[in-house]
Every structure is written in C-alpha cells, then in structure tokens.
Amino acid sequence: MGIVGLVINFFVLPVDVIAERGRKKEDAKKWDKILTSINIIPTIMLYICCGLDYRFNWTGNLPVIINITGLIVSFAGSMLFTWSMVSNKFFSTLVRLQNDR
C-alpha cells in the first residue's frame, strides 16, 4: 500500500510542495527537529512488532473483513494527508518562520 500512496503523491502533488518537503530546513526550530527525530521511533517499532507478530502469530487468524477494514482506514488516512499537501502549497515537515513567503 505504501508504494500506491507514493505513486498517487507523485502524480497529484505540485512540484513546489515536493521541493519544499525535500529541501533541508536551516531555519527550523530546534524543538521541532527533536520531535521529528523522536517520531521515527514509533515507526520503527511498528515494523518490529509486525514482524514479531508474523513470526509468533500473536494475533492469530483474524477475519478477512478486519484486514480489509484496516487497509481502507490506512489508505483513507494517507489520502487525507495527501489532500492536505495538495491544498496547502506551503506544507512543510517542520515548523519554520518563512519571512520570504
């Protein structure tokens, strides 16, 4: 599903938003850089827990409807995030004071 979201973002997002998100932010607040760095920990833990769940079968065999519902909710959240980037051309990953804009 992650690749589908990336492909959709590639075709939908304006070039200036992609450039803004890819550029190094020199004037970002220090506290925001720290929070953004800490935010990677739950993402890594998600993949670790998913792998351990698969290995040890902690959740058992869930009904297919639960898996489909999870995919739909995850995809809807991803599209909401994409919509926010499309509708806000100043969308950035960090809090910054942008005097030039």
C-alpha to C-alpha distance for 63 and 23, rounded to whole angstroms: 43
C-alpha to C-alpha distance for 44 and 51, rounded to whole angstroms: 11
Q: Which residues of the chain have pLDDT under 50?
A: none
pTM confidence score: 0.68
pLDDT at position 96 is 64
